[in-house]
Structure 1
Amino acid sequence: MTTAARAWILPANQPPARFYAGGERIAAFRGTGPAQPHTPEDWVGSVTTLFGHDRLGLSTLADSTLLADAVRAHPVSWLGADHVARYGDDPAVLVKLLDAGQRLPVHVHPDVPFAQRHLGLGHGKTEAWIFLEPAPVWLGFVRDVSREEVRSWVRDQDVDAMLGAMHRLQPAAGDAVLVPAGTPHAIGRGALVVELQEPTDLSVLMEWKDFAIDGVRDGHLGLGFDVALEALDRRGRELIEVASWRESSAEDDGALLPGAAEFFRAERLRGDSRCDAGFSVLVVADGEGVLVPAHGPEIPVRRGVTLLTPHAAGDLSLEDRGGLEVLRCRPPAA
């Protein structure tokens, strides 16, 4: 049986020594032992590496095969013929668990045109958060800001001015929030989120004071801040527009984040459910049950388990054994 003929339970994949605190909530969610310090991210089903690294961030299957190698060897089986025709052997999505052990710094991710022009990449980093445990977030500017003002904030590390110029939202557990590329943002301390994003590790830091990183050296993707800060959307936005990026649908089943469909797809599944075939990452948000793929063995699941389903595993069924809730994360439609 090839790696693409069955679903896989994925172990934690937490890059060490990140520059911000966290990891305890991921360990509690997964039901594992004490967390290592500064392991606030779990890269789930990843064929993406950390910026500047050749291997760190890549997921390994239970048979010790790198997922990236498995997908390259059998792209149609893993991703489906329609996906391969459009994206090649690129799964075109990255999923993480993110545990904000402290408020994350204000930062911004480039969009596709910026990433193509300055970094030679085919993806930017639009992302979205689905909150398992909520905390405040800062998202977008309340008014237009000039290049000179932004550069002075970054140069002087004027964090109060940055946060004061941004909208502050308070998501609830289960809410989904879209973060378009170019939007300045920060996640508050205490959040545990399932994060979907374009498959890159591209961040431009606006803030690094009191964090374990040399932002002057490492905060600009090697481009220098004069270039890197051009990735920032400096427009002011009305609160009603920013609030529209938040989908308060914790009690609803079905598709989440319809505004993100060109970048990734997500859906919430509760109770007994059926899904069509396709490459996907499943995060069991609550309860317990059984995953029954059309091909390959049944897999008991419970809160905190993450799974990967290749296209060749066929249609999927989820059988509820008590309070089952699953988040299914997928690439954009081909």
Structure 2
Amino acid sequence: MKPYPLQCKPEFKERVWGGRALEQFGLELPEGKIGEGWMIGDHPNGTTTVANGELAGMGLDQIREQYGSEFFGSKGFSEKNGRFPLLIKLLDCQDDLSVQVHPNDHYERLPQGELGKTEMWYILDAKPGAKIIYGLKDGVTREQLAEAIEQNRILDCLNEVTAEAGDSFYIPAGTVHALGAGVLVAEIQQNSDSTYRLYDYDRLGLDGKPRELHIEDSLNVIAYENSGATYMKTNLNASGEWLTLARSPFFVTEKGRVEGNWPLQTSPESFVIHIICEGTGSIRWADGELNVKPGECYLLPANLGSYSLEGSMTVLRSYLP
């Protein structure tokens, strides 16, 4: 079978903090407060199926089993569980998310086969004054944080950052963080669904009950000294050049602006994922062409080879290091 860019049917997740903003990308949402669209995923809690071309209807797990490293690349599998190593999401945050932290791959209390979660956010849109909680204040220790939680003043220990469209946040495992109300986000992360909540504003869940907190696990996995978290503005000086937003052991994410034709190439080591942020255009390869628009996510097989991005648009590119 000849390789081609795969577009998947998203898996949508209702969240107490979600809304309907993902409809602006032409996505058909189920009823409810939809906080997450899992756009490309191979996880027990959500495996996406291909929506286009010859492989339409096949799950990403089935493609992994049938085509293996030919499609996903020699690095294209988690060493821990053999699955596709990344999870790509779009997030609609109409309310504040819980204050949370993610473990790394080595935390002994992870469920069997589950990965840790290093991730990054690219802000697609933000309402004026939108905030993000991003790390602990300098010098906060485990003991001080535990005391603040006990006294219901955890927010005194946390950094808050104003978020604007185009901002990029790198969030290694161990970083305390929370998206605030009014942001629309593209998230690239390890293939994991492990989240430990430190604080949730005494909020009730979709079932009308208080949402579970995970204080002991959170305190165990936080990087108190320096998690390695960084954030940046991502203004581009020219088209046809990649700006690195995040470089981790698990993924590299870059931003580029397409004006006209931009010849590119996949490598045998890794698939490439493109998220279309703004504008319109197309992906061309030896055997075809796909028109693309904002909010769409494409998985380009490692064996696709030469391809080009065309049109006038801003895109993210993610691949394995």
TM above 0.5, one fold? Answer: yes
* Aligned-partner residue type, residue 27 of structure 1: E
C-alpha deviation, 1:95, in angstroms: 1.2
| Alpha-carbon separation, structure 2, partners of 1:284 and 1:226 | 39
1:248 matches 2:233: yes
- Note if contact 1:203-1:219 (Cα within 8 Å) is conserved in structure 2: no
The 1:217–1:165 alpha-carbon spacing in structure 2 relative to 1, beyond 3 Å, is closer
- Note if contact 2:196-2:217 (Cα within 8 Å) is conserved in structure 1: no
Give 3-state SS (helix, strand or coil) of 1:14's partner: strand
Equivalent in the alignment of 1:328: 317
| Alpha-carbon separation, structure 1, partners of 2:132 and 2:66 | 40
Give 3-state SS (helix, strand or coil) of 2:43's partner: coil
Tell me, which stretches of 5 or more residues in structure 1 are unaligned? 51-56
1:26 matches 2:17: no
Q: CA RMSD in A?
A: 2.8
C-alpha deviation, 1:151, in angstroms: 3.6
Q: 1:284 aligns with which of 250, 258, 276?
A: 276
C-alpha deviation, 1:196, in angstroms: 0.9
Q: 1:37 aligns with which of 26, 32, 35?
A: 32
The 1:267–1:162 alpha-carbon spacing in structure 2 relative to 1, beyond 3 Å, is same
Give the strand-richer structure, 1 or 2. 2
Within a 5 Å distance, the mapping from 1:1-334 to structure 2 comes to 1=1, 5-15=3-13, 17-22=14-19, 24-28=20-24, 30-32=25-27, 36-50=31-45, 57-62=46-51, 63-83=56-76, 89-114=82-107, 116=108, 118-121=110-113, 123-134=115-126, 135-154=130-149, 158=152, 161-208=153-200, 209-212=202-205, 218-220=212-214, 225-235=215-225, 245-252=230-237, 253-258=241-246, 260-271=247-258, 272-277=261-266, 278-294=270-286, 296-320=287-311, 323-330=312-319, 332-333=320-321
| Alpha-carbon separation, structure 2, partners of 1:204 and 1:87 | 21
Give 3-state SS (helix, strand or coil) of 1:250's partner: coil
The 1:235–1:304 alpha-carbon spacing in structure 2 relative to 1, beyond 3 Å, is same
| Alpha-carbon separation, structure 2, partners of 1:31 and 1:118 | 36
The 1:33–1:111 alpha-carbon spacing in structure 2 relative to 1, beyond 3 Å, is closer
The 1:69–1:180 alpha-carbon spacing in structure 2 relative to 1, beyond 3 Å, is same
The 1:44–1:32 alpha-carbon spacing in structure 2 relative to 1, beyond 3 Å, is closer
The 1:117–1:46 alpha-carbon spacing in structure 2 relative to 1, beyond 3 Å, is same
Give 3-state SS (helix, strand or coil) of 1:229's partner: helix
Q: For this pair of structures, how many residues does the alignment match?
A: 304
| Alpha-carbon separation, structure 2, partners of 1:14 and 1:103 | 19
| Alpha-carbon separation, structure 1, partners of 2:210 and 2:145 | 15
- Note if contact 2:243-2:254 (Cα within 8 Å) is conserved in structure 1: yes
TM-score normalized by the length of structure 2:
0.83
* Aligned-partner residue type, residue 119 of structure 2: E
- Note if contact 1:204-1:229 (Cα within 8 Å) is conserved in structure 2: no
C-alpha deviation, 1:93, in angstroms: 1.5
Give the helix-richer structure, 1 or 2. 1
TM-score normalized by the length of structure 1:
0.81
Equivalent in the alignment of 1:53: none
* Aligned-partner residue type, residue 19 of structure 1: V
Counting aligned pairs with the same residue, the percent is: 24
The 1:8–1:226 alpha-carbon spacing in structure 2 relative to 1, beyond 3 Å, is closer
- Note if contact 1:267-1:329 (Cα within 8 Å) is conserved in structure 2: yes
- Note if contact 1:140-1:236 (Cα within 8 Å) is conserved in structure 2: no
| Alpha-carbon separation, structure 2, partners of 1:249 and 1:307 | 22
